[in-house]
Chain A
């Protein structure tokens, strides 16, 4: 009977109704549970940037700040105060107007519940006050201009709803009251949910899409099957051999994988010999065949990192002279050997190099078990190090153990991500600033390799005060030169920002030819720019395809 039912009637493939955009984004989960709390990490997409909205959006492709719930902002008294002008005529989905009170209340919530303060803004904030309905004034403990991104990107919740929430940490916000383009939960099942458009959205006529539909996919395989099948209109999947597997199947299938994700690094623990020596780190770097790595680990979807380690996210900051100076990211076994000889790590009769204690150099590379791109990258690294007389073994750890060892500085070599910000400042601060170095044994949020650059310290400090764009650019270039000279970590490759789209039913996606925003729905809050720009395709007769 089952067979008859299953095979006898050919089922209609689940096509979404006209105007309903089907996508898969940040999370891959076996089952959806209703949770739209935007203040906690990991709510259902697009809670943080789509249901709720931030004050302003950093367009990571164009490098511009786009005013959103705030129309303008201003630094005052030597960058000790920041004032946001709140947009007029914005209403929450229950009809109540958005005011400066709501913004101040949101930041107040973060202060009262540290678990909500994901970016630790209260480390530098002193107070947040609404000055009338249209302005919010944030006073700083000390000038900290780079903190702007965390503040501007904070999703704003309505005071009149959240003041009655007993515990905002465990609140699941099942029926969000918000300002964004998609606020109506039309359907919520364990395997799919649908968010309808906000009929009173503050941008007139937008969004042009009727609803978003998000099926639950447990992993890449299933999401890719749906993508290739034409069921998904928009996705952020890793697809192998995408030209053959996806693009060639339909003229409406497109992708754009700009290398603007986090730069994947090889961290060498500088508290352990011989990694304290910059030349040893450079030699390790030169033993790595990054071209091969990009091929086997990343299916050629990205490019080898240059010596500034900056991904395409920081393209407008990149300093060409610094890139040119950084010759230690070239695959150069002879050069690496010469550096190691000079560093007094001689080869023994067996061809293996000896450390200061006379023992052969053997290291472990800590990688997360199951993160296959990293595992392969580590395998390539180990092969390269063999060529320069160093034995490295790939050490597979579960996520928790790996991260714990990384944070406590309890590793020799490790593959890991890097921390992103709007400007290189934030990125480099977590790689070489003295104030991010914590003692070995203490869990550090970044700077796991424990490196402090004395020369970079004054540059970091000056950047924290600097609001002048020209001066900022100069200082950011200085940081790049220092990074290239000191090689605090070994950059491998920038992660691509995965993004695929199908133009059969919707149009207006950014792509390599039209790079007006990031394509990947993973990119928050940039996704708001795309969500409000997409339109359904209409056929000449006015119907939907």
Chain B
């Protein structure tokens, strides 16, 4: 329990760090958020109108500590500022549109990548020198060395544009209404398939190798040799002893790797026009919508921290060893 509290305290510190960094960045950096607003309208607006707009968006001045307090106060009420591109929509509203889709893609990619990769790792670790162990590692390492977005571009072109097997963009068919029907869910799956597959392909190697190494380490321990000596069957040994013990390090890195998978899915979303957070982020970068950019950063960080905290809670409950473990 004490361990868990300590971890949660750590996540709180990390959250404060991210929030503070988010506050300081625009104030320390030379870029001018308000200037982006001017550029957006390409001379279509009179200077008087722009000045009035600037005030309306609320680019505030005042002593730094007061701005910080205002910022924290706003944040506590879910106020992340006003979007420049989507004026007068609040940033939270913009971010909200993408959160679910990213959680879906990144979450599924993470879980599926983990499950498939770990299974392959167990197989490779147990039947070392076998087909899986010989062919897959170098292949996956090579494929994993390509940039995510590059793979995504290639897959989209091949399966979406040339073969017309999957839709070219978006999370579901334009015009269909979200509902809990089979056809809608199938539609969502069709749209999410390629983005998810891209991330899985790129991360599979990491999971597989991680699990394989852990298997190898566990197989080297003495009690396994003991088990073998006792005449336990090979399969039983592989699963009951080796895999179960090797699994834990992989599970603990699950939470940590969420940030990584999320990063990858952000780039992938851009290629597939998948309306998640990454897509919004790149859009905000291109149009210099600083409030949205920062709101997304805070949102993503909070999501990752929450996921990590959940993983910690789960592993503490599952595995008694962690309770006494040092961070």
Complex contact flag A–B (Cβ < 8 Å): yes
Binding site for B on A (CB under 8 A): 1-3, 5-7, 9-11, 13-14, 16, 29-31, 33, 35, 40-42, 113-120, 123, 169-170, 172, 187, 190-192, 194, 213, 215-219, 222, 225-226, 229, 262, 368, 370, 398-404, 407, 417-419, 443-446
Q: Identify which of A9, A172, A215 contacts B174 (C-beta below 8 A).
A: A215
Report the interface size for chain B: residues with CB under 8 A from the other chain: 69
Q: What is the chain A residue whose CB lies nearest that of B36?
A: A400
B225 proximal to A (CB < 8 A) = no
B288 proximal to A (CB < 8 A) = yes
Contact status of A115 and B193, CB under 8 A, knowing A33-B89, A33-B97, A35-B86: no
- A407:B45 contact, CB within 8 angstroms: no
The interface residues of chain B lying within 8 Å CB-to-CB of A29 are 85-86, 283
Q: Which of the listed residues B39, B85, B159, B275 has the most CB atoms from chain A within 10 Å of its own CB? A: B39
A-B contact pairs, 30 of them (CB 8 A): A3-B197, A5-B190, A7-B165, A9-B190, A11-B173, A11-B190, A13-B167, A31-B283, A33-B93, A41-B44, A42-B87, A117-B46, A191-B174, A192-B170, A213-B175, A218-B273, A219-B286, A222-B273, A225-B160, A225-B161, A225-B168, A226-B169, A229-B168, A370-B286, A400-B37, A401-B31, A402-B39, A403-B38, A444-B47, A446-B43
Report the minimum CB–CB distance from A462 to chain B (whole Å). Answer: 24
Q: How far is the CA of A380 from the CA of B192 in the complex (A)?
A: 42
Q: What is the chain B residue whose CB lies nearest that of A186?
A: B175
- B43:A419 contact, CB within 8 angstroms: yes
Report the minimum CB–CB distance from B40 to chain A (whole Å). Answer: 7
- B36:A6 contact, CB within 8 angstroms: no
Q: Identify which of B38, B275, B279 contacts A400 (C-beta below 8 A).
A: B38
The interface residues of chain A lying within 8 Å CB-to-CB of B41 are 41-42
- B32:A417 contact, CB within 8 angstroms: no
Q: Which stretch, B49-57, B239-247, B297-305, touches the partner chain A?
A: B49-57
Mark interface residues in B170-214 (1 if CB within 8 Å of A CB, else 0): 111111000000000011011011101100000000000000000
- A217:B40 contact, CB within 8 angstroms: no
Mark interface residues in B20-44 (1 if CB within 8 Å of A CB, else 0): 0000000000111111111111111
Contact status of A400 and B97, CB under 8 A, knowing A3-B193, A35-B89: no
Report the minimum CB–CB distance from A446 to chain B (whole Å). Answer: 7
Q: Which of the listed residues B33, B49, B108, B282 has the most CB atoms from chain A within 10 Å of its own CB? A: B49
- B193:A169 contact, CB within 8 angstroms: no
Mark interface residues in B99-122 (1 if CB within 8 Å of A CB, else 0): 000000000100010000000000
- A118:B88 contact, CB within 8 angstroms: no
The interface residues of chain A lying within 8 Å CB-to-CB of B112 are 2
- A169:B56 contact, CB within 8 angstroms: yes
The interface residues of chain B lying within 8 Å CB-to-CB of A403 are 35, 38-39
Report the minimum CB–CB distance from A119 to chain B (whole Å). Answer: 6
The interface residues of chain A lying within 8 Å CB-to-CB of B55 are 115
Report the minimum CB–CB distance from B107 to chain A (whole Å). Answer: 13
Report the minimum CB–CB distance from B114 to chain A (whole Å). Answer: 15
Contact status of A400 and B174, CB under 8 A, knowing A114-B49, A217-B273: no
Contact status of A120 and B170, CB under 8 A, knowing A400-B38, A401-B31: no
